[in-house]
């Protein structure tokens, strides 16, 4: 099957396992012989790995269901007599398999990012080693027959020892990799007893230090597969595509030999025999699969063949002769209740959501996923980097001393992992790169893995990020490089490596960001600027946002309210807090604003132009597909009201092509209002991942110059009212403080300057970048406790002027803030001017006013950016329009509460009661609108969503500016142009009441 012996069986047929030890007493510790869970070996007794396939005419028996279970606090608390078939497990508990016992009420999950949650003393593990003993009794189905069979484990964390009917089969490590045992000679028609001992900690744990929850258990399926005489031992589908001739090449290697038929291509071949025929190639955009069948004397298995060729040539990563652009995400397997036990429906939902958000690539961070996920990637079309189950990040904390990947004694374990991944997954067209693992430093073990993979599958380039020299890889990959560095790399002008030869080699390699745009909490910011780099420099072939989903575990408060737990919520002595919640979708898989932003930024069609001149330019940014699958529609709006719609004839542009088109004549005159074209590209027909009409891309073009805002001329005169108040037009002010108290009878808590926002995870920038946290600096400056001193309340002929100085205790710098109020009939206008005083060493979080209105004013409507939130560097997806929703729906439920919900570019907003009464606010210039039922201080203090409860007021922030978001929770900070530097500012709002 490898290049040298393509027809030889990869391993001997399914005979009895090499182990014959019967279930015996527990292994006493002998210093010279470590117990199996602490030796460095990958295990003993398992069969060599082979290709996974979902379908076969050979019977399979899934063993999921309710098993018997006993948890011990150490590995040796109980002997192994439980493996005997007649053992009495009536006092044990029931446990659903597959699953993680810590999510089923036995023990607790724990989260660490890079730190090992036990002393670093490889390969030893602590005495406290939760150990789950499992027993399952099963019968074979009618007609199963006799003969060879294998027992298949899809994934067990982290080490398992297995017995069937009292016979020990062996033990294994490698949590997210399959392991099989020959069991045909042990099976009986009825009353089989499978016994599995699972240890949470093993030597394997040192190789599985991924940033995620530690979740022990048999978390993927367990099944028994019949392996009739002459059934497929292993098979390897080699299906390439020659883009110069349009021919697909096919050869299926198989042991034992058999035949392959591909009806749609009229092929009927012997295994090992090659053929070359015209085909439609497989790409992520056009995932053409050919149904085929592989038949050996003992088995028939359906194949789905995708023809494509992956190459690194001319310094680029090419598929079928073309450079591809990766619009990717890192995907962990995660479900808020079930952890890494993820069902096929959830996998499909993830992929549909990805495809619908223009995502075309997945890095399976940081281990091979359930194989069904890869089947779905083949089917729906995604480029996949399949990553080995390997990370030794914790050694980084000790300068990589003792790192297993640079220690020959660990090599068998590393090679075993590489083999189990490649052998299981080698037949997926979706997989275009193999990845050696994540964050392991460097070492000869990685080189050995690379050498083995190259030999076994020369058709796919290799990826690994952790070795800057790229000595073992075919692509230059980095994580979290900032924009400037990516641009240098794009020009092939990066800082040189010390070794000139390696440097020259690396400089010729294509570049990708295997992680960027850390999607923790609000953000990530700066996506558009990355995308521009990917489109400017052909070497920069895109990247993978970190990451797809927040790993928040679903919990209930004592009152039954749902929230999502993160590190520390289970009393872990060592943890990394909410660093585990950094996805584009929330734990329950609802999209976060970051996903909407990503969809817009990576859209495969660009729609731009000059709406005033009536022209639009459409550019096809697909790598393979022409625009024939899309329909284009336009909408013409005046002041946010639809005045005309229609479709636009766009030629079926080839990838990379662009065309200028004329828009129709505007259906209505702007008449002094804002007029806007919106052009949308939608699916013309149903696809496997979305229905006809699904929006893929859009652009908005102003149809006329924005009308200039003229402030209402001040006509009202301020006067004293009864009590300590000043009346001005519809406003009633406190005469001492100058604060607005009523607007036409609507009770308010007057607008006043606000610079604080509840720091986002990116503002906090912890834990990876101590000393670079803007939030820490803001707190040091006291921006969360600013005091307002009123220096003067002046009534002028046509204005009320309130002069204040805003500053924090213990600090010298201040913001001199003047509020100038004027009125004309029912309109009340506020002009705010801000003059900084003293030295301001940091940008401001926000600059605007905050006010409160009665909580009955619970519905918002606005004309401006929406429907979701947007900040200066995250507003590509904000579309100008008229939006309407309850204040409650304006909140973004980040797992750890933080600043959220601002709507950018707001021209005007109305907040109303159910009867339509309320207030209206017009901005001059546009503003950011935020409305919520708790004040910023409560948002700041909350740790979980359920810490927030609605008060009696709706708090409004009308912001002139916001500091950008960036992605500093694990990446670059806010780009200079999005920093909110302290500088003199002026802005205005006009308030009126709604009746
Ligand atoms: C990088 C890890 O590869 C990833 O697993 C995750 O931990 C991410 O960071 C942060 O969420 S590692 C890194 C930036 C040193």
d(CA 396, ligand 1 centre) in Å: 12
pLDDT at residue 22, as a whole number: 36
The superfamily in CATH containing domain 36-226 is Galactose-binding domain-like (2.60.120.260)
Cα three-residue angle 693-695-699, rounded to 5 degrees: 130
Count of Cβ atoms closer than 10 Å to residue 190 Cβ:
8
Dihedral of alpha carbons 468, 469, 472, 477, sign: positive
User: What kind of fold does domain 234-311 have according to CATH?
Assistant: Immunoglobulin-like (2.60.40)
Count of Cβ atoms closer than 10 Å to residue 891 Cβ:
20
d(CA 790, ligand 1 centre) in Å: 48
Count, in order, helices (H) and strands (E) of the chain: 11, 58
Residue located nearest, by CA, to atom 2 of ligand 1:
211
151 close to 180: Cβ distance less than 8 angstroms: yes
Buried b / exposed e across 961-981, counting CB within 10 Å, b at 16+? bbbbbbbbbbbbbbbeebbbe
Instruction: Label the pairing between strands 431-435 and 462-463.
Output: parallel
Cis-peptide into 56, omega within 30 deg: no
Kindly name the residue from 494, 515, 597, 831 that is annotated as catalytic.
515
Q: For the sheet containing 511-516, what is the strand order?
A: 462-463, 431-435, 383-387, 361-363, 326-330, 540-545, 511-516, 476-479
Residue located nearest, by CA, to atom 7 of ligand 1:
211
Instruction: Concatenate the DSSP letters of all residues of 530-595 into one string.
Output: HHHHHHH-TTEEEEEES-SB--PEEEE-TT--EEEE-TTTT--SS--GGGG---SB-TT-PBPHHH
**Fold matches, 36-226 and 719-994:** no
Residue located nearest, by CA, to atom 9 of ligand 1:
970
165 close to 185: Cβ distance less than 8 angstroms: no
- CA-to-CA distance for 318 and 326, rounded, in angstroms? 11
d(CA 329, ligand 1 centre) in Å: 13
Q: Is 538 a catalytic residue?
A: no
Closest ligand 1 atom to Cα of 480: 14
Ligand 1 pocket: which of 111, 546, 583 to mutate (most atoms <8 Å of CB)? Answer: 546
Ligand 1 pocket: which of 111, 112, 113, 333 to mutate (most atoms <8 Å of CB)? Answer: 113
Arch. (CATH architecture) of 604-702: Sandwich (2.60)
Closest ligand 1 atom to Cα of 439: 3
Closest ligand 1 atom to Cα of 971: 14
d(CA 77, ligand 1 centre) in Å: 36
Question: What lines the ligand 1 site, CB under 6 Å?
Answer: 113, 211, 366, 438-439, 479-480, 515, 518, 546, 579, 582, 970
> What are the Cα distances from residue 291, in Å, to 301, 307, 892?
11, 12, 44
Dump pLDDT digits (tens) for 141-172. 999 999 999 999 999 999 999 999 999 999 99
- CA-to-CA distance for 463 and 437, rounded, in angstroms? 8
Instruction: Label the pairing between strands 128-138 and 192-199.
Output: antiparallel
Cis-peptide into 767, omega within 30 deg: yes
Closest ligand 1 atom to Cα of 479: 14
E-state strands within 183-315: 192-199, 212-214, 217-218, 222-226, 234-242, 247-255, 259-262, 267-270, 275-278, 290-296, 299-305, 310-313
pLDDT at residue 25, as a whole number: 43
Question: Domain spans of the chain?
Answer: 36-226, 234-311, 604-702, 719-994
772 close to 968: Cβ distance less than 8 angstroms: yes
> What are the Cα distances from residue 194, in Å, to 84, 95, 139, 189, 213?
9, 14, 11, 14, 28
d(CA 211, ligand 1 centre) in Å: 7
pLDDT at residue 9, as a whole number: 34
State the virtual CA torsion across 781, 786, 792, 797 in degrees, nearest 10: 110
φ/ψ bin of 115: left (φ > 0), alpha (ψ from -120 to 50), beta (otherwise): beta
**Which SS3 state, helix, strand or coil, does residue 642 take?**
strand
Kindly name the residue from 333, 411, 439, 465 that is annotated as catalytic.
439
Residue located nearest, by CA, to atom 14 of ligand 1:
970
| Packing angle of the helix pair 344-356, 371-380 (nearest 10 deg) | 40
pLDDT, averaged per 10 consecutive residues of the chain (995 residues), comes to 35 43 45 88 98 96 98 96 98 98 98 97 97 98 94 98 98 98 98 98 98 98 97 98 98 98 98 98 98 98 98 98 98 98 98 98 98 98 98 97 98 98 98 98 98 98 97 98 98 98 98 98 98 98 98 97 98 96 98 98 98 97 98 97 97 98 95 96 98 98 93 92 95 97 91 98 79 90 98 97 98 97 97 97 97 96 98 98 98 98 98 96 98 98 98 98 97 96 98 94
d(CA 467, ligand 1 centre) in Å: 15
d(CA 780, ligand 1 centre) in Å: 28
Residue located nearest, by CA, to atom 6 of ligand 1:
211
d(CA 376, ligand 1 centre) in Å: 26
d(CA 857, ligand 1 centre) in Å: 43
464 close to 437: Cβ distance less than 8 angstroms: yes
Count of Cβ atoms closer than 10 Å to residue 57 Cβ:
14
d(CA 397, ligand 1 centre) in Å: 14
Burial of 792: CB neighbours in 10 Å, binned 0-12, 13-18, 19+: exposed
- CA-to-CA distance for 543 and 801, rounded, in angstroms? 53
- CA-to-CA distance for 56 and 530, rounded, in angstroms? 45
328 close to 543: Cβ distance less than 8 angstroms: yes
Closest ligand 1 atom to Cα of 438: 3
d(CA 402, ligand 1 centre) in Å: 21
- CA-to-CA distance for 524 and 482, rounded, in angstroms? 13
Ligand 1 pocket: which of 366, 481, 515 to mutate (most atoms <8 Å of CB)? Answer: 515
- CA-to-CA distance for 833 and 819, rounded, in angstroms? 7
Query: Which helix (H) or strand (E) is 394 found in, with range?
Result: none
- CA-to-CA distance for 962 and 979, rounded, in angstroms? 8
- CA-to-CA distance for 652 and 630, rounded, in angstroms? 9
Instruction: Label the pairing between strands 985-994 and 859-866.
Output: unpaired
Q: Please report, in angstroms and rounded to a whole number, the separation of the first and last CA atoms in the chain.
A: 79
**Which SS3 state, helix, strand or coil, does residue 779 take?**
helix
- CA-to-CA distance for 356 and 207, rounded, in angstroms? 35
d(CA 970, ligand 1 centre) in Å: 7
Q: Is 561 a catalytic residue?
A: no
Query: Which helix (H) or strand (E) is 461 found in, with range?
Result: none
Look up the pTM and report it: 0.96
d(CA 302, ligand 1 centre) in Å: 38
Closest ligand 1 atom to Cα of 582: 11
Buried b / exposed e across 67-88, counting CB within 10 Å, b at 16+? bbbbbeeebeeeebebbbbebe
User: What kind of fold does domain 719-994 have according to CATH?
Assistant: Beta-galactosidase; Chain A, domain 5 (2.70.98)
pLDDT at residue 33, as a whole number: 84
830-833: long-range contacts at Cβ-Cβ below 8 A with a sequence spacing of 24 or more? 830/740, 830/751, 830/988, 830/989, 830/990, 830/991, 831/986, 831/987, 831/988, 832/753, 832/960, 832/985, 832/986, 832/987, 832/988, 833/984, 833/985, 833/986
Ligand 1 pocket: which of 769, 970, 971, 972 to mutate (most atoms <8 Å of CB)? Answer: 970
- CA-to-CA distance for 459 and 916, rounded, in angstroms? 66
Residue located nearest, by CA, to atom 5 of ligand 1:
211
Dihedral of alpha carbons 75, 78, 80, 86, sign: negative
Dump pLDDT digits (tens) for 793-828. 999 999 999 999 999 999 999 999 999 999 999 999
Closest ligand 1 atom to Cα of 210: 5
Closest ligand 1 atom to Cα of 520: 11
Closest ligand 1 atom to Cα of 396: 15
d(CA 566, ligand 1 centre) in Å: 16
Which 8-state DSSP code applies to residue 281?
P
E-state strands within 154-191: 156-157, 159-164, 167-173, 179-182
């Amino acid at each position: 099957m490898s290049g040298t012996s393509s027809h030889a069986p990869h391993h001997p047929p399914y005979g009895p396992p090499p182990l014959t030890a019967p279930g015996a007493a527990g292994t006493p510790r002998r210093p010279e012989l470590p117990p199996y869970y602490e030796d460095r070996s990958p295990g003993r007794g398992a069969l060599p790995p082979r290709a996974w396939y979902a379908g076969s005419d050979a019977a399979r028996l899934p063993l999921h269901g309710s098993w018997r279970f006993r948890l011990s606090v150490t590995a040796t608390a109980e002997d192994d007599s439980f493996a005997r078939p007649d053992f009495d497990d009536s006092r044990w508990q029931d446990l659903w398999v597959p699953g993680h016992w810590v999510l089923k009420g036995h023990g607790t999950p724990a989260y660490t990012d890079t730190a090992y949650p036990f002393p670093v003393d490889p390969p030893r593990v602590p005495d406290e080693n939760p150990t789950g003993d499992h027993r399952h009794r099963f019968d074979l189905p009618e007609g199963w027959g006799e003969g060879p069979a294998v027992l298949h484990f899809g994934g067990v964390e982290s080490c398992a020892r297995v017995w069937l009917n009292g016979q020990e089969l062996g033990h294994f490590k490698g949590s997210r990799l399959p392991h099989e045992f020959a069991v045909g000679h042990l099976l009986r028609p009825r009353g089989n007893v499978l016994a599995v001992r699972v240890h949470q900690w093993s030597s394997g744990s040192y190789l599985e230090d991924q940033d995620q929850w530690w979740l022990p258990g048999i978390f993927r399926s367990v099944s028994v597969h019949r392996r009739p005489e002459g059934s497929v031992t292993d098979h390897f589908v080699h299906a390439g595509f020659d883009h110069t001739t349009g021919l697909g090449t096919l050869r299926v290697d198989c042991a034992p030999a058999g035949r392959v038929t591909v009806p749609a291509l009229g092929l009927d071949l012997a295994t090992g025999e090659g053929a070359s025929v015209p085909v439609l190639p497989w790409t992520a955009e056009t995932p053409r699969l050919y149904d085929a069948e592989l038949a050996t004397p003992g088995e028939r298995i359906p194949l789905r063949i995708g023809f494509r060729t992956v190459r690194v040539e001319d310094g680029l990563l090419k598929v079928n002769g073309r450079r591809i652009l990766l619009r990717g995400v890192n995907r962990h397997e995660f479900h808020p209740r079930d952890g890494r036990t993820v069902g096929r429906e959830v996998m499909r939902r993830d992929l549909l959501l990805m495809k619908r958000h223009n995502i075309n690539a997945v890095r399976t961070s940081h281990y091979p996923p359930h194989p069904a996920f890869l089947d779905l990637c083949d089917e729906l079309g995604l480029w996949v980097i399949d990553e080995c189950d390997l990370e030794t990040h914790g050694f980084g904390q000790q300068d990589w001393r003792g790192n297993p990947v640079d220690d020959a004694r660990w090599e068998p374990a590393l090679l075993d992992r590489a083999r189990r991944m490649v052998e299981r997954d080698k037949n997926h067209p979706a997989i275009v790169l193999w990845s050696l693992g994540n964050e392991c430093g460097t070492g000869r073990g990685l080189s050995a893995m690379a050498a083995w993979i190259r030999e076994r599958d020369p058709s796919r380039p290799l990826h690994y990020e952790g070795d800057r020299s790229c000595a073992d890889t075919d692509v230059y990959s980095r994580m979290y490089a900032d924009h400037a560095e990516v641009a240098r790399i794009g020009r092939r002008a990066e800082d040189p490596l010390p070794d000139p030869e390696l440097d020259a080699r690396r400089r010729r390699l294509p570049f990708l960001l295997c992680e960027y745009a850390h999607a923790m909490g609000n953000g990530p910011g700066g996506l558009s600027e990355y995308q521009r780099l990917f489109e400017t420099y052909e070497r920069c072939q895109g990247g993978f946002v970190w990451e797809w989903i927040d790993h928040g575990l679903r919990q209930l408060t004592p009152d039954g309210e749902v929230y999502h737990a993160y590190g520390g919520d289970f009393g872990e002595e060592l943890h990394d807090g909410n660093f585990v919640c950094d996805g584009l979708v929330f734990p329950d898989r609802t999209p976060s604003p970051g996903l909407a932003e990503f969809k817009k930024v990576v859209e495969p069609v660009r729609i731009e132009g000059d709406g005033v001149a009536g022209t639009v330019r459409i550019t096809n940014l697909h790598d393979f597909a022409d625009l024939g699958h899309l329909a284009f529609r336009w909408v013409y709006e005046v002041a946010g009201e639809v005045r005309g719609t229609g479709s636009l004839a766009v030629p079926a542009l080839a990838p990379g092509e662009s065309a200028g088109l004329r828009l129709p004549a505007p259906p209505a005159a702007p008449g002094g209002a804002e007029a806007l074209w919106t052009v949308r590209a939608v699916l013309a027909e149903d696809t496997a991942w979305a229905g006809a009409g699904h929006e893929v891309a859009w652009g908005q073009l102003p149809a006329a110059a924005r009308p200039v805002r003229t402030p209402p001329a001040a006509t009202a005169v301020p006067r004293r009212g009864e009590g300590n108040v000043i009346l001005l037009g519809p406003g009633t002010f406190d005469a001492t403080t100058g604060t607005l108290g009523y607007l036409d009878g609507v009770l308010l808590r007057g607008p006043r300057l606000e610079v604080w926002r509840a720091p986002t995870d990116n503002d906090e920038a912890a834990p990876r970048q101590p000393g670079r946290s803007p939030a820490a600096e803001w707190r040091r400056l006291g921006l969360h406790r600013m005091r307002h001193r009123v220096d003067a309340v002046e009534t002028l002929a046509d204005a009320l002027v309130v002069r204040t100085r805003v500053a924090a205790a213990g600090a010298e710098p201040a913001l001199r803030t003047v509020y100038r109020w004027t009125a004309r009939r029912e309109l009340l206008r506020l002009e705010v001017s801000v003059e900084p005083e003293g030295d301001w060493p940091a940008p401001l979080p926000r600059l605007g006013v905050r006010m409160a209105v009665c909580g009955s004013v619970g519905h918002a409507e606005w004309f401006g950016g929406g429907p979701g939130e947007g900040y200066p560097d995250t507003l590509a997806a904000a579309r100008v329009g008229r939006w309407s929703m309850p204040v409650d729906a304006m909140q973004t439920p980040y797992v750890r509460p933080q600043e959220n919900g601002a709507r950018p570019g707001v021209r005007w907003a109305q907040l109303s009661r159910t009867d339509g009464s309320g207030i209206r606010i017009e901005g001059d210039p546009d503003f950011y609108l935020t409305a919520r039922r708790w004040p910023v201080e409560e948002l700041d203090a909350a740790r979980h969503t359920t810490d927030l409860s609605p008060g009696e007021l709706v708090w409004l922030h009308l912001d002139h500016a916001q500091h950008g978001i960036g992605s500093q929770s694990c990446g670059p900070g806010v780009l200079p142009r999005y920093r909110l530097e302290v500088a003199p500012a002026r802005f205005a709002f006009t308030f009126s009441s709604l009746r």
